[in-house]
Structure 1
Amino acid sequence: MSFKFSKGHAKKWLLLSCLFAGLTSSVAAEITQEKQVQQLEKSPENHVSFSAQPANCIALRYGRTCYANVKINWTSDIKQDYCLLIKQEKTARTVQQNIKCWKSSNGNEIIFNFESNKKIEFQLMSSKDKQVIAETAVEVSWVHEATPRKRRWRIF
């Protein structure tokens, strides 16, 4: 099916279709936002913000250790006891290493000396029920990938 428009009608049609597309997306966004607000009002859940900056540590060569000072921020709606942990994958099991705990707090910031050649995951845990509330991670990447070295033999 094809339609033939004059130059003026094609421009008007294009403008109207773009305008209509913009309206439908903004209406959908408003409906979604209203639903989120209603859910927040109904649920007495704890809303937590948890981040690590920078989220990516870059080393020069593949497999080398990356060093960075990572700023870990967290905030919570509920004031209670929290602990910051590192989640580490050991051979067949997962181990959690405690970094720092706060008593009766609803937010804090810590600078962590990152030294690793692989991704490290951080967890925020509630001390009272030992449940993980939020997770974030710092990825490790490299500028140069591993390349097989050529061995050149020299006499002198």
Structure 2
Amino acid sequence: MKLTFLGGYPPDLLAQTADAIRQGTLGPSLLRRYPEAHEARNDAALRDYVMTFKNQYLRSTPPLSHIGYDNRLHVIRNALGTHATISRVQGAKLKSRREIRIASLFRTMPEVFLRMIVVHELAHLRERDHDKAFYQLCRHMAPDYHQLEYELRAYLCWLEITGEALWT
């Protein structure tokens, strides 16, 4: 069984996750742990959610001109979220816009998974690369960041293999 989203994790953890998927226990376990989806279902609610974190942890970073769900982000082939800086020349000035787009899959997930991806994309406002400083910032905003990332990746493996979405 290929666990596409769990590359780089230790073999024993991969085996344990594969067994849980094979036995059909991973999905129900995640559903018991996180029974409900979040309420930020539209772009306006997502913007409020993201801005709460940005204002609390990253006040000095440049403003965000767009925050929203993106139906074009395909989780299996692309990304869970994106951050972009778009620069345009306006007269004699260079104008920059910063955007965060979250895959539409997150509209119906538990709040903890939305928090994980939001924290990840916000951390890119300050740290471009996935290096030690980046993950320290992620843990500063969400102390359980690594656990949430693993659980989200395990759920994505469950979804890819079984096709069974847990939250709607």
TM range (shorter): under 0.3
- Which protein is bigger by CA-based radius of gyration? 1
The TM-score, its normalising length taken from structure 1, stands at 0.26
The TM-score, its normalising length taken from structure 2, stands at 0.24
Which of the pair is proportionally richer in helix? 2
